[in-house]
Every structure is written in C-alpha cells, then in structure tokens.
Amino acid sequence: MTLCCLRVGCLRVGALRAVALALLSTCGGLAHSQPAPAGWRMSLHLASPPQVSAALPAATDWPTLLTAARQAASNRREQAAVEAAQASHDQARISAWRPRVDATATNTQRWQRYNEQPIRSPNASAGLTLTQPLWRAAERTVADSLQSQAEQTAWQAREQAQQVALEVSLAWLDAVEAAETLKLNQARIDALRLQAQLNERRVQAGVGTVVDQLETRGLLEQAQGERAVWQHRLNTARLQVERLVGQAVPGPLQVPDGLHPMAAGDADPIVVPPLAEGLHLAPGANAAQQARERQLQGARLQLSARQAERWQPTIDLVAELSRTRQSQQFDGLSERQDIRNRAVGVQLNWPLFTSGYQQARTREALALLQQAEAARDEERAALDTRLREAYDTLQHSQRLLAVQHQLVRTAQTTHAAVHKAYLAGLRTHQDLLTARQRIDDSQQALVGTRIQSLKAQVRILSLLEQLHAERIAPLAQVFAREALAPTHPLPDDAP
C-alpha cells in the first residue's frame, strides 16, 4: 500500500518530506531516528486498556434510590412538621368542643394576733370544676383553620419528598451521562493513540511528518483533559446522590456503565401522560399547588375567626363541687367548720370594647387572605409554565433523536471514506482527524439528547406527583445493568 501511495502521489510525498525537513531544522535538528522528548513520547505509544479480571458488580437500581430517598433527613423533618401541625389542630378542636375537668386542693395555716391573743386557723379544701363549651364560634373557626394549616403542611411534606426524588433522579442521570461520556472518551483516546502509532510508522517510512504527530498529540491531550472534566462531574453527581439518600442504600453506590445502545428508529420508553392530560391533572395533583390552596382556605377561616371574636360571645356551662374544712383556735377554744359547695351555671363572655384590638386583628387576617390568593395565582401560573416547558423539551428531544442517529451514521460513513482517501494520498491528515472528531461530537450529542429526554420526563412526573419507584421502572431499563468499571490512569497520565 505504501509503494502504491508513493507511486501515485510522488509529488505530494516530496512536498511532505520538504515540510518535515523544514520543521526538523527549525526544532533544532530532531530526526525520527533520535529519541523523542519525554513530552512527545505519550503520542507515540499505544496504551492497552486495563484488564479487569473479576466480574463487575451490578449497578445500583434507580427505583431503589427513590425508595431510599423517602428516609432523607429533609423528608423526616417535614414529616415531623406534619405531626406537629396535626397536634396543634387537635388542641384547638378539643378546647372548642370538649369538656374540661379541673381539680383543686389547698391546705393552709394562718396565724393571727387579736388583743395580744394568738389565733391559729388551719384550712383544707378540695374541689372539682367542670367547664363545657356551649358556644365558642371563634375558637371553633380557629380549629378549622388549623386543620387547613395541617393539610397544607402535609402537602408541603409531599412537595419536599418529590423535590428530593427529583434531585436524586437528576443527579443519577448526570452520573449516567458522565459514565457514558467516559466510555466514548476512552474509545476516542484509544483511536487517537492508534493513529499516533500509525503516524510514527509513517514518519519512519519517510511518508509522514511531525505535523501529523503534533496534530494527533494535541487532540489526544484535549481528550484526556475532557476525561478529567467528566470524571469530576461523575464524582460530583455520585456525592450528591449519596448525600440525599444517606445510609438507606446498603453498600457503596454503583453507577451504571452508561446507557444501553439504541438502534436507529428506536426510542427510549415514554412514561408520562400526553400534554392535554398532564395539564388537566396538574392542578389537582401538584403538591405545591395544593399547599397554596390549603393556605388560602386557612386564611379565609382565619378571617372568619377574627370576625367572630369581634362580634360573638362565648358561652360555657360551669359546674363546681368543693368541700372546705377549717378550724379556729382562740383563747383555748376551738371551733371547727365543714363547708360543702355545689354550683351549676352558665358563663357568658362578650367583648364590648377592646380599644381597636379586634379591628387590628381583622385587618391582619384580611391582608393574609390577600397574600394567600396572590401566592395561589402565582403558583398556578408557574406550574403551567414549568409543565409546558418540560413537555416541549421532551417533544424536542424526541424529534432530535432521529436526526442525531442519522448524523452518527453519516459521520461514520464519512470517516470511512476519508480514511480510504487518506491512504490513497487524496486527503490530508487533518481531514482524517476532523472526520473522527465529527463521530465523537455526534455520539456525544446523541447521549446528551437521550439524557435530556429522560430529565424532561422526570420533571413532568415530579410536577404530577408521580415520581416514585413504580412509575419510573420502565425508564430504569435504559441504563446498563453492569456498574461502571473503576477508572485507572493511563500509563502516560501517571505522574
């Protein structure tokens, strides 16, 4: 093949030799027979990838991570807040509706002096007091308001759980994207090292130039730098997932070895409902929207309670049973008394004049009601926008996948044709490297689009309160079942 190239392109080979000799003289007389500097040797040797003898462990399951995320510290915090809000509602409801019985007991000693005569009066009493609310309009409305606040807290807890699940899912998808990119990057490094070896042989045969070696070396160093960047992204995403799930997952997290290959014409599973159905379900299913609705309901009840405090009395049924024993000792005489009391009645409290206190409380409740209405409207508009944006991203990614599959095939076909033309002397070494770069770019774009499509589905499920292990099980099939192999520094990367 070399003789054929020399025979067909003798003028071209002569020009390449002239360029090589000029570069060699400029660089201080470096010839291919002399040993290359240490900084150049890395582009002249093909490094074999590390061999892993033992079988790789299975990757951590995505649904398992979502199940474990339920025990995240933020979720436990919100659940405790729900229990506290429910307890506050129970207190207000019991105070407004249930009877109360109080027991009292006293035992006192009293000393007096009357005309220089000492008087001692011991006293002991015990009693029971029953209070049954008959009409407490304000307190009962406050209890209903606290019930709405407890429901709001429960929806906020569900919102927090979905937020944690969303963060776990997005971090896990970032880790999978980094793992897949590292695989593509390793293939690119291997191809460039092979090309560097071929360039060295061509230089030794007198048909290659140092320029070809420098071009290949530059791309190889660029690929190694990109590998360090993606390795950092992988570590960051792994740490993010570990922070969110805590110790709920036994053993270390095993990131999947990238994505399953997808043939042209295929598509990843779609687990979200259509756009029209999603827009219909969102207002009733979204946790943040429901929390705002409960906040508005509680504000309305709070305003009613303040108005009841201003105009309506409280009426209680009061019953009392007591017994008192006392004695009085004076001038050697002792007088004992045993008193029994029974009382039943109705107690009414009605604020007639509060110097504007109740009016101020009513204005405060009205302002909070207006604030809750504005927050509800703002959340509704934001939910609609986020949902439409996620669906638009999903549809765009699905349309783009078919185009990018075609781009990958076209780049591979172009590289094969350019390689044949390069061997025939009809294309330059730079053309060959450019064709190879197009393959890498198209494959990376395809991976990014697949991850973008998965992230869009995750965001839609989170907005619809459906991001849980059972729902995303079909999406987990997109990942490789094996864990990502541990990374080893290439021989020339070692310090």
Tens-of-pLDDT digits for all 495 residues of the chain? 333 333 333 333 333 343 333 333 333 333 333 333 333 333 333 333 444 444 556 778 888 888 888 888 889 999 999 999 999 999 999 999 999 999 999 988 877 776 677 777 788 899 999 999 999 998 999 999 999 999 999 999 999 999 999 999 999 999 999 999 999 999 999 999 998 898 888 888 888 888 888 888 999 999 999 999 999 999 999 899 988 887 656 667 788 888 888 776 678 889 999 999 999 999 999 999 999 999 999 999 999 999 988 888 899 999 999 888 887 766 667 778 888 899 999 999 888 888 888 899 999 999 999 999 999 999 999 999 999 999 999 999 999 988 999 999 999 999 999 999 988 888 888 898 999 999 999 999 999 999 999 999 999 999 999 999 899 999 888 888 777 766 544 444 433
Contacts of 371 (CB under 8 A, 6+ apart): 299
C-alpha–C-alpha distance, residues 15 and 23, integer Å: 12
Whole-number pLDDT of residue 310: 84
Give 29-73 as a DSSP string: S--TTSPPPHHHHTTSSPPPPPP--SPPPBPPPHHHHHHHHTT-H
β 100-114/314-330 pair status: unpaired
pLDDT at residue number 249: 63
pLDDT at 415: 92
Rg value, the chain, Cα: 40
Q: Which of 328, 323, 357, 315 is nearest to 339 (CA)?
A: 323
What are the φ and ψ backbone dihedral angles of 470, each rounded to 5 degrees?
-70, -35
Give the pLDDT of residue 57: 66
Give how far Cα 446 sits from Cα of 180, 181, 224, 234, 254, Å: 11, 11, 21, 18, 24
Alpha-carbon gap, residue 282 to 465, rounded angstroms: 8
Structure tokens at 74: 């933020």
User: Which tokens belong to 377?
Assistant: 């409207």
| Nearest-angstrom CA–CA distance, 141 and 304 | 7
CA dihedral (388, 391, 397, 403) positive or negative: negative
Per-residue model confidence (pLDDT) at position 225: 93
Residue 118 has what pLDDT? 75
Question: Which pLDDT belongs to residue 480?
Answer: 83
Q: Report residue 269 as tokens.
A: 């599973």
Domains of the chain (ranges; CATH) run 55-75+152-296+371-493 (1.20.1600.10)
CB 381 within 8 A of CB 289: no
For CA atoms 377, 144, 161, 75, the dihedral sign is positive
pLDDT of residue 203: 86
pLDDT for 55 equals 53
Type of residue at 225: G
With a threshold of 0.85, does the pTM exceed it? no
